[in-house]
Amino acid sequence: MKLVKKTTDRFPFALEELLNTDWLGGGAAVNKIGINVPAVNIKESDDSFLLQLAIPGFTKEAVAIELDKNTITISSEKGDSEANELKKYTRQEFDYTAFKRSFHLPKSVDQTAIEASYEAGILSITVPKKEEAKIQPKRNIAIV
């Protein structure tokens, strides 16, 4: 009994490749050199920025967040390439995955108070603004 049928005819192979291509980029984007880049949302409020990266399947222990000068870099690697060498698969679509994404922070942020959390495949990084960069409430000025 065969689990996978191999075709030797060129046309069905080309058609299968055409249909299996993700033309709309349904998940993570791919950068210029072909490495997966996680999708990101960036929200700005009066007192902070919130970066949210979609990285399902990663553990928080496997993710590294580094701050160097005004650049924050998020990276991770995962995969079991060593274990796969010992097993013989009929078809294997799981692969080794890595990503690295950097963001330039404005000078108005408080780099000492950056916090991160990871839940349900979403990495959230809160970058608070410095007190002097926050929007001040409306006030009346007395005339003397």
What residues does each domain of the chain span? 29-131
**29-131 placed in CATH 2.60.40.790:** yes
d(CA 70, CA 132): 18
Provide CB contacts within 8 A for 56, sequence distance 6+. Answer: 121
Chain segment 64-75, per-residue pLDDT in tens: 999 998 899 999
> Judging by beta carbons within 10 Å of its beta carbon (0-12, 13-18, 19+), is residue 2 exposed, middle or buried?
exposed
Q: Is the pLDDT of residue 23 over 50?
A: no
- The two three-digit tokens of residue 41, written as one number: 């949302």
Q: Is the pLDDT of residue 26 over 50?
A: no
DSSP 9: -
Q: What is the pLDDT of residue 53?
A: 94
The DSSP bridge partners found for residue 116 are: 125
3-state helix, strand, coil in the chain (%, to 5): 15, 35, 50
pTM (2 decimals)?
0.65
Q: What is the pLDDT of residue 135?
A: 74
Mean pLDDT of 93-109: 84
d(CA 50, CA 89): 42
